[in-house]
Structures are given as C-alpha cells and as structure tokens.
C-alpha cells in the first residue's frame, strides 16, 4: 500500500514495534496519513517554519508535517517505546526531524527551534489543557510561537471558542481569545483513532495577535477570572468578595453590574476589572 512518504503504513509500524496506546499517557493514535496531512495543512505554510510537536506517538502527524514541507520538526515524546518508529521517520527525512524523549512540561523548546515557530500537536488528553494554558500565558507577549494547531476533545475545543453567555464560556475562552484568534478547523470521529476514544475530537487553530485585545496585567486577569468562574452560578459581588472588601465599587468602576454572573461578562469587561484590581 502506497503512503505519502514511502514509509510503511502506520498500522504496520505499530504492529512491528508492538506499540499499544497507553491510557495512562492519554494516548490515542491517529493512523490515517491523509488525515494527519490535512491537520498539518491547517497550520498554514510550514516551509519557512520550525514546528514543535508534542506527543507524536508512532509519528502519524509527524509524517504529515514533514510531507507538507515543514522546515524542521522538533518532536517531544515522553513514551520511550515510540523512539523506534520516530527514528525511522528521522532517517527518511535527514536533518529535518529532531526527537526528544522527554516530558513536554519540563523542557525549553526554544533551545532547539529557530523562529518563526508553529506548534502542531495531537495533544495527549491528560496534559492538553495544561499545555495550552502555558502557551497562552508566557511572561512576555507576543510569544515565541506564531500559531497553535492543536487537537483536543471536542468539548475542550468548544470551550476555547465559546462566547459570553454560553455554558462553555470560561477561563479557557478568555485566556485564548484575549491574545489569539481561535477557531475550530476540523472535527474527527472516534473511529479515526486507535483505540477509538469515547468522545469526538476537534482541531483548533489559534493565531497569536501582535498584542492583547485589551490592556490588562496577565496575572491579575487570571486571578479575577479564576475567582469569578470558580463559583460561576453566584453573582460576581459574591464570587469575587474575597478579592477586595470594596469589590462592588470596583465592579461598577469596570462597567460591570455586581449582580451579573461570570459567564455574562465579555473579555473587555474582565480586562477592565483586572485593571481596577491592579490599582491596589
């Protein structure tokens, strides 16, 4: 059976290396190389970019990224069992694939990447949200990456693009939409994976904005948003009362009704509140 790159089909690779997806690592392997190439294309032109990929597993998306012309791919994989398949891909693309057997939460990818950088990944379910929040909250903005193209459980993807007033609107939507333009670009059914998960998946593409949409101190914004959505059913004057004794005055100064609930407040309002809280 012919493949996009002349390497064996992924099912053969997995069988040859005895790879079985580990639930403890949040693994679900994507085996259709046409799909992985389609995901890679959602990231845009990769020919002048280095790409960071987290959790490549047997390398389905890795092969898609390289076949679509990525200048270089840095693949960070915690599971040492995947080193064999990934080394075979590296040999087929000399000088274009670097593989690190490490935890993505513990490395500095900038040491091995040359900007512009795009991050493209079928993220392990158990660390996907944590990695996204880290990428969205660097010490300085703009970040080292130009865009994120990430696969999540569909429910998480919907939270990232949710609008004010919806039940899915919360911390993820605010952090993502404050400094990026996120959109769902693909949806995938369970049967696209091995083993099939119990839920549908979706790919979200986020382009980094040159500057945040509204001025706010990042740490203060995270603090007020976390407090507000921690008790999202309560009025803000109640859910935020632990932040300041005069919280009602600060809410009013930010243009927010103290009787509103967290999901009613647009990003502009949360940023205005963060500025009020930063006044001390």
CA distance 17 to 81: 8
Q: What is the DSSP string of 183-244?
A: EEEEEE-GGGEESPPSS-EEEEEEEEPSS-SS---HHHHHHHHHHHHHTTTSBHHHHTTTT-
240 is in an annotated binding site: no
28 is in an annotated binding site: yes
What secondary structure letter does DSSP report for 256?
Answer: -
CA distance 69 to 49: 9
CA distance 84 to 18: 11
CA distances from 237 to 61, 221, 233, 265 (A): 47, 17, 12, 13
CA distance 21 to 32: 16
| C-alpha 27 chain-centroid distance | 16
122 is in an annotated binding site: yes
Q: How would you classify the pairing of strands 72-77 and 50-54?
A: parallel
Pair 20, 79: CB distance under 8 Å: no
CA distance 148 to 42: 10
What secondary structure letter does DSSP report for 217?
Answer: -
77 is in an annotated binding site: yes
Closest CA to 120 of 44, 9, 24: 44
**Binding site per annotation, positions:** 28, 30, 55, 77, 103, 122
**Binding site per annotation, positions for S-adenosyl-L-methionine:** 28, 30, 55, 77, 103, 122
């Amino acid at each position: 059976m012919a493949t996009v790159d002349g390497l064996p089909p992924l099912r053969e690779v997995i069988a040859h290396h005895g790879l079985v997806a580990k639930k403890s690592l949040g693994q679900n392997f994507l085996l259709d190389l046409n799909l992985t190439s389609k995901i890679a294309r959602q990231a845009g032109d990769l020919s002048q970019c280095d790409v960071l990929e987290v959790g490549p597993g047997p390398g389905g998306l890795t092969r898609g990224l390289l076949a679509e012309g990525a200048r270089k791919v840095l693949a960070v994989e915690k599971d040492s069992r995947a080193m064999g398949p990934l080394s075979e891909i590296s040999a087929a693309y000399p000088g274009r694939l670097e593989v690190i057997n490490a935890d993505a939460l513990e490395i500095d990818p900038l040491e091995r990447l040359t900007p512009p950088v795009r991050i493209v990944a079928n993220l392990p379910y158990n660390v996907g949200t944590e990695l996204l929040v880290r990428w969205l909250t660097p010490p300085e903005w703009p970040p080292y990456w130009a865009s994120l193209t990430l696969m999540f459980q569909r429910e998480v993807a919907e939270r990232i693009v949710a609008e004010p007033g919806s039940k899915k609107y919360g911390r993820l939507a605010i952090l993502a939409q404050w400094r990026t333009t996120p959109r769902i670009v693909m949806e995938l059914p369970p049967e696209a994976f091995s083993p099939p998960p119990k839920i549908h998946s979706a790919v979200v593409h986020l382009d980094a904005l040159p500057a945040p949409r509204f001025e706010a101190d990042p740490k203060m914004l995270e603090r007020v948003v976390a407090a507000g959505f921690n008790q999202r059913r309560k009025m803000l004057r109640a859910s935020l009362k632990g932040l300041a004794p005069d919280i009602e005055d600060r809410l009013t100064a930010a243009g927010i009704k103290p009787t509103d609930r967290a999901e009613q407040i647009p990003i502009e309002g949360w940023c205005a509140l963060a500025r009020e809280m930063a006044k001390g």
